[in-house]
């Protein structure tokens, strides 16, 4: 008895492939916005702070999941959705073991009330009134405290870091620099965190 | 079979996307010193998107005017010189960045040369403008452009005690006129 072998024609299963393509598109659309959202920084939301840092065209890259190495001042806004709302400065102090991440330091700063708000128009205040602001006192005190504990002699590696929304008025940055400068060569420079842009944009 | 293939594609897509990274870089800014300073370039940012760019050509401009109007009393001469500097050296943001890029090219072509750029910034200016400038300046190959950043306004320049040129002799015995501004 002859058996007729049926050859199964293997054809491209088009409906399945179309389903697959749709699924891939949906996955991409769903996952892409999620990956853009970063680690929440806690209190009152400095969410999306990363998108508001100034950018640089420099190509050397650094991981944003960052362990605090020195005193860092984070400058955000009281209303994260409104970049024109009053500035808030948080003082983030590392622990002695170099193991405190930025996220943990922010939570600690909120818990310990190591933050202060600068009022609207602080950049236009006269010097005497500006220096009396709670934020200025906090900056002075924290730098003094940190310097006494960690910057025992002048060194190029003694730095204070600043991480601020791009529209932050220069006066605030300048004040932090000035307080550091008061210690002469003990704190010879400040470090500013910027976001790295991939294109040739300038300060966007 | 289709399901396995789908799961594999899903895994590849989701494992790739989260690696799209946001990254930060650190920029160093020297803390200011309250001292007499010398710089090859002075940038004065203003409240608008224009800036004052002062380089060695400003010295020549001021020297020429001093020869013409040296007879004027100091305050009037100051005002005249200030007006001249503003008229001839105010640049747009675009031109400022082109000038900086030219400076960086020059620094890259001359590794032995050293430059210092002083950036004066009004209190209310957003600091990203400074970061932007510094990121250009510090992109040299040989790191031979140093920079400093201080607070300052155009009005302070206008009210400076004296704007003049002084004759300076370098180590090779060459003499030239340098612009000097006393606040």
Please report the pLDDT score of residue A177 as a whole number.
95
Q: What does the pLDDT read at residue A48?
A: 52
Residue A12 lies in a domain: no
> Which percentage of chain A shows pLDDT scores above 70?
73
Q: Is pTM beyond 0.80 here?
A: no
| A28 within a domain of the structure (yes/no) | no
Q: What range defines the domain where residue A156 resides?
A: 49-196
Sequence spans of domains, chain B: 37-182
Cα end-to-end span (Å), chain A:
81
Q: How confident is the model at residue A200 (pLDDT cuts 50, 70, 90)?
A: very low
Angle in degrees, CA B167, B62, B168, rounded to 5: 10
- Say if CB B120 and CB B45 are below 8 A apart: yes
User: Does residue B67 belong to the interface with chain A, where contact is any CB pair within 8 Å?
Assistant: no
Please name the residue that has the structure tokens 């389903």: A19
Q: How many Å is the Cα radius of gyration of chain B?
A: 23
Does A117 reside within a domain? yes
- Rounded distance, CA A54 to CA A166, Å? 5
Contact A77, A165 (CB under 8 A): yes
In this prediction, residue B107 carries a pLDDT of 92
With CA atoms as reference, the chain B residue closest to A185 would be B31
d(CA A56, CA B43): 19
Q: What is the ipTM of this complex?
A: 0.80
- Minimum Cα–Cα distance from B148: chain A residue: A189
DSSP B172: T
Sorting pLDDT into bands at 50, 70 and 90, what band is A33?
A: low
Q: Are strands A72-77 and A159-164 parallel, antiparallel or unpaired?
A: parallel
* pLDDT mean across residues, chain A: 79
Instruction: Examine residue A136 and state whether it is found in any structural domain, yes or no.
Output: yes
pLDDT over threshold 60, residue A155:
yes
- CA dist., res. A94 & res. A101, Å (int): 8
Query: How much is the average pLDDT of A134-158?
Result: 94
pLDDT of residue A43: 41
Quickly state the pLDDT bin for A37 (edges 50, 70, 90).
very low
Tell me the average confidence (pLDDT) per consecutive run of 10 residues in chain B, 183 residues long: 74 63 78 79 88 87 81 82 87 91 92 90 92 89 90 87 74 74 75
Q: Nearest C-alpha of chain A: how many angstroms from B113?
A: 22
List the beta bridge partners of residue A116.
A89
Number of domains in chain A: 1
The pLDDT value given to residue A34: 54
Distance from the B10 Cα atom to the nearest Cα atom in chain A, whole angstroms: 7
Residues of chain A in contact with residue B32, where contact means CB-CB under 8 angstroms, are: 174, 177-178, 181
Yes or no, beta carbons of A31 and B29 under 8 Å apart: no
CA distance A23 to A27: 6
Distance CA B91, CA B86 (A): 9
Helices B128-137 and B93-109 cross at an angle (nearest 10°) of 30
Q: How far apart are CA A151 and CA B163, in angstroms?
A: 40
- For B137, the token pair is 């300046």
Partner-chain contact B131 A192, CB within 8 Å: yes
The DSSP bridge partners found for residue B27 are A192
The whole-number pLDDT of residue A58 equals 46
Looking at the domain assignment, is residue A185 inside a domain? Answer: yes
What do you get for the CA distance between the two ends of chain B, in Å? 79
Residue A154 belongs to some domain of the structure: yes
What is the C-alpha to C-alpha distance for residues B15 and B1, in angstroms, rounded to an integer?
Answer: 21
Residue A77: its chain B contacts at CB < 8 A? none
Cβ B22–A64 below 8 Å, yes or no?
yes
| pLDDT value for A115 | 93
In terms of C-beta density within 10 A (0-12 exposed, 13-18 middle, 19 or more buried), how is residue B147 classed? buried
Please report where in the chains the tokens 């990254």 appear, as a residue: B23
Domain presence at residue A141: yes
More confident residue, A181 or B83: A181
Q: Output the pLDDT for position A50.
A: 56
Q: Tens digits of per-residue pLDDT, A61-94?
A: 444 467 888 999 999 888 877 777 889 999 999 9
Nearest to B56 by CA among B71, B40, B43, B68: B40
What pLDDT shows up at residue A61?
41
Over the stretch B96-105, which tens digit does the pLDDT of each residue have? Answer: 999 999 999 9
**Cα Rg for chain A, rounded, in angstroms?**
25
pLDDT of residue A87: 92
Site from B16, B123, B149 to mutate, A interface, most A CB atoms within 10 angstroms: B123
């Amino acid at each position: 008895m002859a058996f007729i072998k049926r050859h199964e024609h293997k054809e491209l299963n088009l409906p399945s492939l179309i389903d697959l393509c749709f699924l891939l598109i949906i996955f991409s659309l769903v996952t892409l916005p999620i990956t853009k959202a970063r680690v929440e920084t806690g209190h009152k939301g400095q969410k999306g702070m990363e998108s508001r840092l100034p950018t640089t065209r420099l190509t050397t890259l650094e991981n944003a999941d960052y362990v605090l190495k020195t005193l860092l001042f984070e400058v955000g806004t009281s209303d994260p959705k409104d970049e024109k709302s009053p500035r808030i400065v948080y003082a983030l102090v590392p622990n002695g073991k170099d193991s405190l991440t930025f996220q943990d330091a922010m939570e600690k700063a909120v818990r310990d009330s190591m933050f202060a708000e600068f009022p609207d128009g602080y950049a236009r205040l006269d010097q005497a009134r500006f220096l009396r602001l709670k934020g200025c006192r906090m900056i002075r005190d924290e730098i003094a405290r940190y310097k006494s504990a960690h910057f025992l002699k002048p060194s190029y590696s003694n730095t204070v870091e600043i991480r601020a929304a791009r529209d932050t008025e220069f006066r605030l940055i300048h004040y932090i620099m000035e307080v550091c400068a008061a210690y002469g060569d003990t704190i010879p420079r400040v470090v500013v965190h910027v976001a790295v842009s991939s294109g040739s944009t300038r300060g966007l | 079979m289709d399901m396995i293939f789908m799961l594999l594609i899903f895994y590849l897509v989701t494992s790739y996307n989260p690696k799209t990274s946001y990254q930060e870089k650190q920029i160093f800014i020297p803390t200011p010193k309250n001292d007499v300073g010398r710089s090859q370039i002075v940038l004065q940012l203003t409240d608008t998107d224009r800036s004052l760019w002062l380089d060695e050509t400003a010295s020549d401009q001021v020297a020429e005017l001093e020869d013409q109007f040296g007879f004027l009393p100091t305050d009037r001469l100051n005002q005249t010189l200030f007006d001249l500097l503003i008229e001839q050296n105010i640049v747009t943001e675009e031109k400022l960045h082109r000038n900086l890029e030219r400076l960086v090219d020059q620094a890259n072509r001359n590794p032995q040369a050293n430059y210092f750029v002083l950036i004066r910034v009004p209190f209310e200016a957003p600091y990203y403008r400074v970061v932007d400038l510094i990121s250009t300046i510090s992109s040299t190959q040989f790191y031979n452009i140093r920079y400093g950043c201080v607070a300052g306004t155009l009005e302070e320049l206008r009210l400076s005690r004296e704007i003049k040129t002084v004759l300076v002799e370098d180590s090779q015995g060459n003499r030239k006129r340098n612009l000097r501004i006393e606040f």
